[in-house]
Structure 1
């Protein structure tokens, strides 16, 4: 129990986790004492915290520019307001930390989308690909083969079949070969998720355990990840690529995965404070055009709470 009489939250282990905890409970003296003890326990902790603070200072101008555009939404002054402002700067710091790989992805990509942006691209062969938010693809066509590399995110492919020139999509060593169809592909750590809207595809994953080479038809889905058995199943065809209609349909999925799917639609950062919440499984339909309400709906389903410390930071945690 903490001094306020509520349940004790997990002990933060690194600077970013302490930042989230302090944002959530800025007036908790026990948390503050534990933070100071962590900070002094190891010189490396002080270095990590100092790096965060230095980056925050460097980003103050950027924070102020963005804050001015949404002035009505900024929390009032005071201790909560001070930590909220620090949280905004921390989010900016995190954005800079991820900027290098994001920049590399864009350098490699032929087409990409930003937060909450969807866009349809017509490929050189007349096929089309609808890009979900924060998605990037590289297109490599020649006279013998048509290859699209999904560098990031999720996309719905509508392919014009050419028997003499196969069409394939690759992500993390998993390959989908089209046999005249429409299918959805989502890149994930170590592999991909794929679901078929119509027609037939062939999925190959040499890194799965055991290796996979299988044909899927309309309504089939597969998750292929390195060093794991492939997962397969069926779903209503109308639920394939539901994101194109601003709907997120989940069935018995961990909250951590649901939040991951919401992040590209939210212009900010969503933190899941409690590992117990992250592991809980939910079934439901969420509105991708309103990711803030979607996070609140997840909280209601679990008896949890959401703290919005700025327009760009949501913290999902136990009550």
Structure 2
């Protein structure tokens, strides 16, 4: 959640007169109290670190003034100050991992064997909490991605909770991916039931080759078919992307990328991409993803990489 707040901070700071951007930011804040809480934390660190006034989104009735070239050219001292503030956000917020029984670090896949014989493979920068009782087996995916191979036990259903989405099985193999915008489930063998806490998600059981994407900010669930060898392709260090927004791809690469990735250009993030990316080389994968869409990378100190649209050559628009 803090990563999204940092993205908004960077974009709003870069375009203070963009009313549409600030209105979209206001909608994001209103969608979930956790969004507002993350924003307040990032704002506090930003102000304490750099002495910069908090960013206030304009109202719907405000019209941005015509941009002035002098105002657009941010001085290097201010850029350095902003970079220092963002670095402080990184140092204070990145390490705050939720309490977990098992976790993996960035760039690590971890194997976990549970007491019932079930096997879990954690993707990069992922975490789970386990609670087994005589009549139930429960795992909470706190962040990231995990592949489950569940030992059959009809008397003890196995559940995986990711935010508001619950997956229930007795014995099967499936993948669960928790991002900041959605929970995705893909089944390799057997079948699973997917429900949400509000009882609003009513879909038939997923079988082998079925996948389901449930948005965390409402919206209909998206069901599709996937080839079995493509389920949890990350286990072979592959990121397979089929006509997805670049912003989603960047989010998945964040788990493998050293440091912090910040997407400055929302329009760039909405451009769609189809690609096969090598997760063992996240830097090259990122370049391969953004270059065809007109993106470029800017390094802010040792921790922060900013993704923005490539500037047009001099004399061209």
**Same fold by TM (over 0.5)?**
yes
Q: Structure 1 residues 126, 225: closer, same or farther in 2, change over 3 A?
A: same
Cα distance in structure 2, aligned partners of 1:204 and 1:50: 37
Counterpart mapping for 1:132-171 below 5 A: 132-171=123-162
Listed one character per residue, the Cα deviations across residues 124-145 of structure 1 (whole Å, up to 9, x for unaligned) are: 1111111111211110001110
Listed one character per residue, the Cα deviations across residues 93-120 of structure 1 (whole Å, up to 9, x for unaligned) are: 12244258x34x12xx111112112101
Cα distance in structure 2, aligned partners of 1:221 and 1:49: 37
Is 1:183 aligned with 2:183? no
Cα distance in structure 2, aligned partners of 1:267 and 1:91: 16
Aligned counterpart in structure 2 of residue 220 of structure 1, from 164, 186, 210: 210
Is 1:308 aligned with 2:299? yes
Is 1:241 aligned with 2:236? no
Structure with a larger share of its residues in helix = 1
Aligned counterpart in structure 1 of residue 221 of structure 2, from 220, 230, 235: 230
Aligned counterpart in structure 2 of residue 275 of structure 1, from 266, 275, 278: 266
Cα distance in structure 1, aligned partners of 2:44 and 2:198: 40
CA shift for structure 1 position 207: 3.6
CA shift for structure 1 position 89: 3.6
RMSD: 2.9
CA shift for structure 1 position 299: 2.2
Matched with 2:49 is 55
TM-score normalised by L of structure 1: 0.71
Q: Structure 1 residues 141, 191: closer, same or farther in 2, change over 3 A?
A: farther
Aligned counterpart in structure 2 of residue 94 of structure 1, from 80, 83, 89: 89
Matched with 2:194 is 203
Is 1:289 aligned with 2:280? yes
Q: Tell me if the contact between 1:206 and 1:212 (Cα under 8 Å) persists in the aligned partners.
A: no
Is 1:124 aligned with 2:118? no
Listed one character per residue, the Cα deviations across residues 59-111 of structure 1 (whole Å, up to 9, x for unaligned) are: xxxxxxxxxxxxxxxxxxxx97x7887576444312244258x34x12xx111
* Higher deviation after alignment, 296-305 or 183-192: 183-192
Task: Count residues with an aligned counterpart.
Answer: 255
What is the DSSP-based 3-state SS (H/G/I as helix, E as strand, rest coil) of the residue aligned with 1:92?
A: helix
Unaligned runs of 5+ in 1: 1-12, 22-47, 58-78
Matched with 1:45 is none
What is the DSSP-based 3-state SS (H/G/I as helix, E as strand, rest coil) of the residue aligned with 1:214?
A: coil
